[in-house]
Amino acid sequence: MPVKIRLQRHGAKKRPFYFIVVADARAPRDGKFIQKIGTYNPLTVPASINIDTDKALRWLQKGAQPTDTVRRILSFKGVLYLKHLLRGVKLGLFDEPTAYKKFEQWQAEHEQKVAARRDSHKRARVVTPVVKRVEDAPAEGGNAEA
């Protein structure tokens, strides 16, 4: 049975909200699924992603194939990096505490980058008040054409 990790669409028309689910590849997009492992809301800025890292990692290690969008989400959250590090443990390149230490270091750096991006976006959205110059304003009580 080929298993996929994919998005399941919910929400109203033109207001998408997605569940990240593990499903049989033959099942319809919004149909039967095996397990729900997270949510994805692309309408918030930045997009909000909630995912159970342990469940996603377990399914990836069992051989579930993520779709392209889910692969990018898992990469953004660090699940694929953790899978990569644990594969190094299995091959004997380093031990498990070292792998988790590397992952925590990556996660701290990643959180700083995301926070910086979020702050820059907030600063860009701040609207500065528009002040009219005296020359541009029409004369009071008079004819503007004169």
Q: Where are the domains of the chain?
A: 3-125
Distance CA 88, CA 101 (A): 13
3-125, which class in CATH? alpha beta
What tens-digit pLDDT sequence spans the chain (146 residues)? 799 999 999 999 999 999 999 999 999 888 899 999 999 999 987 889 999 999 999 999 999 999 999 999 999 999 999 999 999 999 999 999 999 999 999 999 999 998 988 888 788 777 555 566 666 666 666 565 55
Q: What is the pTM of this model?
A: 0.79
